[in-house]
Structure 1
Amino acid sequence: MSHATPRRALIVIDVQNEYVTGGLPIEYPGVQVSLANIGRAMDAARASSVPVVVVQNFAPADAPIFARGTEGAELHPVVASRPHDHYVEKSLPSAFAGTDLADWLAANQIDTLTVAGYMTHNCDASTIFHALHAGYAVEFLADATGSVPYENAAGCASAEEIHRVFSVVMQSRFAAVLTTGEWGAALGSGARPDKGSIYASNRKARERRAQQSAAASTPA
């Protein structure tokens, strides 16, 4: 871990009823687990004077999910019941797209974004990619988020597969991936958790594959 103290903001993305009791239920990690960790992260941020940004997504009134004015589009009580420092309303995946988030972060001299909320592979990933390209350090709380399963013309994938693969990719270049507990410890120490690199991640995978191949070819 680097010990240059980060100036963080916790970005809590789209923790809305749609993902819990609505039409797009989070499956992995379990939604009650992620909700509890989102609450823990918000409480830890408040205790450490880390500003909290709450993001809420809205779709047009005739959309099947996140339609403005519906119960599904409302913030879940875990987030709605806790204080925040800034609120962002969006209609695209990235919390930066068409919002004042970048201006607010600059005004508050933030250099590190900690991302939690939903979903791992969609709005979280889009926001993380956007943040990296804008020059921010990024942290991703992998137990305070979640994914859903997909099946479409390209194939199918379980929620666990999607969450795991995106988390591995994040750690390889885009964000330091850690648990809420690890993040809380980093807040206390002032350390900056390290993300990996594409080269190191690939090299480690190739070395493991070579070891497995060698073990498989060794006579018992």
Structure 2
Amino acid sequence: MPNSPDLGENYRIAYDNKIGFGKRPALIFIDFVEAYFNKDCELYADVDDALASALRIREAARAKNVPTIYTNVSYLPDGSDGGRFFQKAKPLRNFTRGNPMGAWPAALKVPDDELVITKQYPSAFFGTSLASTLTTWNIDTLILTGLSTSGCVRATCVDCSSHGFIPIVVRDAVGDRHEAPHEANLFDMNAKYGDVVTEAETIAYLDTIGDNS
């Protein structure tokens, strides 16, 4: 279109807004599982830096007694509990029950006293107890880290907003298999659903809040 603004200017005109951090956050690790770290797996995504960032944020969160939640994906051996998602996305076969690609990677230690939500669909909210749990914990802000940006992170961000929680997506702590979908989805989430922030901004925020014990 002649004389139309560029993409950035177009979105600034319509969507230039920030929600900001809330008062009672929780941190979520979305699908940081072996499939994305194993070079022999079709889902390998070179996302070591994203996990390292998420772990630094977890350290800052723990210092303030901010809860951490983890998600993974698991299906029956025939995938029959995965519905159309399992039928469409063939790489989900890596997450059938007992497949080592669904395990936590060596760099991620998940304590027994922190919540793990096992899901079958992209969003951490869909078909799970996450929304009820966050409500019970009086959480207003969900800090999103994990994999992949264009898939389960985005789906969780949209549902987070839909359920009334503030989605904070940490740019440094999410990853994808290619830069193009990664950047496009960060752009869109920041425009419409939540705030995309840096690791440094997130840790600075965590340092300012009172203990949530």
TM-score, normalising length: structure 2:
0.77
Give the number of the structure whose alpha-carbon radius of gyration is greater.
1
Indicate the residue corresponding to 2:198 in structure 1.
179
1:117 aligns with 2:136: no
Indicate the residue corresponding to 1:52 in structure 2.
68
**TM-superposed deviation, 1:10:** 0.4
What is the CA deviation profile of residues 37-90 of structure 1, one whole-angstrom value per residue up to 9, with x for unaligned ones? 121121111112110011111134255311210110101233335576322110
C-alpha contact (below 8 Å) 2:19/2:195 kept by paired residues: no
Q: Which consecutive segments of 4 or more residues in structure 1 shift more than 4 A?
A: 1-5, 81-84
Q: Distance in 1 between matches of 2:94 and 2:108?
A: 19
Amino acid across the alignment from 1:11: I
Amino acid across the alignment from 1:19: Y
Listed as ranges, the gaps of 5+ residues in structure 1 are 149-158, 191-220
* Residue in structure 2 matching 1:9, options 1, 6, 26: 26
Amino acid across the alignment from 2:36: Y
Indicate the residue corresponding to 2:36 in structure 1.
19
Change (3 A) 1:5 1:102: closer
1:169 aligns with 2:188: yes
Q: Distance in 1 between matches of 2:70 and 2:97?
A: 17
Q: Summarize the alignment of residues 37-116 of structure 1 with structure 2, pairs less than 5 Å apart.
A: 37-62=53-78, 64-81=93-110, 85-116=114-145
Q: How many residues align?
A: 178
Indicate the residue corresponding to 1:155 in structure 2.
none
C-alpha contact (below 8 Å) 2:21/2:166 kept by paired residues: no
Indicate the residue corresponding to 1:208 in structure 2.
none
SS in 2 for 1:88: strand
Q: Summarize the alignment of residues 118-133 of structure 1 with structure 2, pairs less than 5 Å apart.
A: 118-133=147-162
User: Relative contact order: is structure 1 or structure 2 higher (C-alpha 8 Å, sep ≥ 6)?
Assistant: 2
